[in-house]
């Protein structure tokens, strides 16, 4: 187990006071920070604590091994209802 590699998808979003970060595969692992780097550091600590707890309790560690994620953009003319701000 010492050389195991655990892979997680991490989401960081801007919010009103800085950034909010979470790990979809690890329910309840959420944190925040004033900067992206601070949020990433806080996420690393939260992930470490969560996974250590799972391992200590003999629970399986969920991972994002087969995840695929992308961002799509659309122009307003692609929708049947036009944006009121267009």
Per-residue pLDDT tens, the chain, 86 aa: give them: 567 889 899 999 999 989 999 999 999 999 999 999 999 999 999 999 999 999 999 999 998 887 777 788 888 888 876 555 55
Backbone angles phi, psi at 22, to 5 degrees: -155, 165
Q: What is the pLDDT of residue 44?
A: 97
Contact 18, 33 (CB under 8 A): yes
Q: What is the pLDDT of residue 85?
A: 59
> Taking the domains of the chain in order of start, what are their residue ranges?
11-78
What topology does CATH give the domain 11-78?
Double Stranded RNA Binding Domain (3.30.160)
Beta strands 11-15 and 30-33, pairing class: unpaired
Give which of 7, 12, 26, 9 is closest to 69, Cα–Cα.
Answer: 9
Contact 17, 39 (CB under 8 A): no
């Amino acid at each position: 187990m010492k050389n195991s590699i655990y892979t997680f998808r991490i989401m960081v979003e801007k919010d009103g006071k800085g950034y909010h970060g979470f790990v979809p595969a690890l329910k309840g692992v959420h944190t925040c920070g004033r900067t992206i780097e601070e949020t990433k550091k806080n996420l690393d600590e939260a992930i470490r604590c969560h996974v250590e707890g799972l391992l200590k309790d003999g629970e399986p560690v969920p991972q994002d091994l087969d995840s695929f994620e992308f961002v799509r953009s659309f122009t307003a003319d692609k929708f049947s209802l036009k944006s009121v701000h267009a």
